Structure formats: structure tokens, C-alpha cells
Structure 1
């Protein structure tokens, strides 16, 4: 299977989701500031990374984990879905692809922090808000990852798109 976590910028909740998916974060409590800062790509990607699939690693079952920042572009996820369907149809590829939206887990404070840090390049203001937001939503992100993995195992479609609206 291939897991692709997506959201607006692709550097905050998606990076946390990938880290949870790869068992790089503790799941039994809220995260510390240090743990958040050590998450690969957390608050490190820029607008030049938007639309790029970022590989985070292989999970304990041998599944690839990626993230992508899509901005407000409503065409990115359908394009990935259609490309995957095309590859399934025209090649011998038979891997299931799960595209999971992490946007519903984003708290307001994280949106403000992301805008200040990534949008305006004011890290000294944005970073503390991003950490506060990550602490606020880390339990939801972990639950989203667990439900994404479950969907990957239980659903039979070759391409699965999870909007995750219940996490609002």
C-alpha cells in the first residue's frame, strides 16, 4: 500500500501524521515541544515544495508513506486518484493507494502560526503558535492515522480518498 497524507501546506499536520504512521512519536500522551521540533519536515517545507510528493519512509508493514501540500487546489487529490487508477489499469501495478486529508485536524492557532511562519516568514511569532497547535491536535492526528490504516486494510477499492470530515 501507499499512504499519502495531504493538507494545505504539507508541512505541519501531514508531517505529524507521517511521523505517527511510522511510529516515530509516542501515542499515549500529548507531544512535547522538543518532539514536535524533531519531526522531519515540520515547518520546514516552503511554497516551492507544494504539489510535490514527499517520501517519509516505509512503515512496519512495508507500506510507503508520503505527504503532499495542495494549497486550496481542489484538483490535486482527484489528479492523484485518476493517475493511480490509470496506473492500475494500464500497468501491472496493483498496490492500494490511500489518500488521507489531515486538514480537518488543524486548529485555528496552527493556521495562524503557519501563516506567520511559512507565509510571512516571521518564525519567532509563528513557531510558538505552531507548537501550541500541534500539541492541541496531536491526539486527533494520531486517531486519524489509525483510522487511515484501518481503512487501508478493510476497504477493497484500489484507490481510497479519505476526507476525514468527522475530525472537525
Structure 2
């Protein structure tokens, strides 16, 4: 199997997803500290110029490669990845599965604001603390998204699987987050 996690910038929720998938982050290590988050490979480090690049993040425990991509606002990236995957699989007769999983539904408003301030405007002094707080809010959702992605990958009989992953909501008031399809 080949896993490709995607979101707008490819540097925040995709980095968290890859870190959980590759066991760089441990789900029992909660809450995540600022250092835990900022030490995740590629977290808040990619630029607009790197959008559309498929970045290899590592091999998982079952020897499956894990990649991430930032698609920006293009609605064509995932369909193009899907079509290219199907072409290559049919052309070369491979029995590989390719799983394309969208991490965008896990993004809380703080992470959106922090990403904009840090990556788009270069105001790290405000953006990075918001990103850290946003990552602390959504990391459990991302972990569950990764586990669900792995389960669907194993259960599916399709060679190319695209997971949009629904919408996730945040419990307000108690600061705990829950997983709920919209």
C-alpha cells in the first residue's frame, strides 16, 4: 500500500498524520507539548513553492511508504493523483493499493489562522503559537483519522481509495474534541 495524506498546505495536519502513521508521535503521549509539535518533520516548514510536491515521509511498520502533499486551493490535485495512480497501476499491472486521505476536515480555526499568519504573511511570532494551540486541539482527531485510513485501506478491494473523511467538530467549553461525521 501507498499512503498519501493531503491538505491545503501540506505542512500542518499532513505532518501530524504522517508522524502518527510512522509512530514518530505516540497517541498515549498527550497532551502534545510545543516542542513535540515543532519537532515533527516538515511541520510549518513548507512554502507555497513546495505545493503539489509529493513528499516521502517514511516507511510504516508494514513497510508501506507514507507521503504527503499540499494541494493549495486546487480542486484538481486529488483527481489528477487518482487518475495517474490508475494509469500507472493498469499500465504496469501492479497489485498495489494507493490510499489518498484528506486531513483538512480536522483543521481547527486556530490552525487555519496560525497557518495563514505564519506561512502566508511570515508573522511567526503570532502564527506559530496559534498553530501549536491548534495542533494540540486536533491531534486526537488526526490520530483517529490515521487509524481509520489504515482500516479502510485494509478492508477496501479497490486499488485506488480516496478518503475525504467527512467533517469533524470540536466540543466547545470543555476543550475536548470529538469525532463526528457531519
Which category of TM-score, normalised to the shorter sequence, fits these structures? over 0.9
Gaps of 5+ in 1: none
Gaps of 5+ in 2: 170-182
Deviations 1:83-131 (A, max 9, x none): 0000111113221000000000000000000000000011111000000
SS of the residue 2:5 aligns to: strand
CA apart distance, 1:166: 3.9
CA distance in 1, matches of 2:139, 2:94: 34
Q: CA RMSD in A?
A: 0.8
In the alignment, which residue of structure 1 is the partner of 2:103? Answer: 102
Residue 148 of structure 1 pairs with residue 138 of structure 2: no
The 8 Å contact of residues 102 and 163 in structure 2, kept in 1 or not, is answered as: yes
- Give TM-score, length-normalised by structure 2: 0.90
Paired residues, what number?
Answer: 168
In the alignment, which residue of structure 2 is the partner of 1:18? Answer: 18
In the alignment, which residue of structure 2 is the partner of 1:7? Answer: 7
The 8 Å contact of residues 107 and 138 in structure 2, kept in 1 or not, is answered as: yes
CA apart distance, 1:32: 1.1
CA distance in 2, matches of 1:75, 1:158: 20
CA distance in 2, matches of 1:82, 1:135: 35
SS of the residue 1:165 aligns to: coil
Residue 30 of structure 1 pairs with residue 31 of structure 2: yes
In the alignment, which residue of structure 1 is the partner of 2:91? Answer: 90
CA distance in 1, matches of 2:42, 2:3: 17
- Give TM-score, length-normalised by structure 1: 0.98
CA distance in 1, matches of 2:116, 2:142: 20
Bigger relative contact order, structure 1 or 2 (CA pairs below 8 A, ≥6 apart)? 1
SS of the residue 2:141 aligns to: helix
Q: Report runs of 4+ in structure 1 exceeding 2 Å deviation.
A: none
CA distance in 2, matches of 1:88, 1:43: 33
**Which structure carries more helix by proportion?**
1
CA distance in 2, matches of 1:166, 1:125: 27
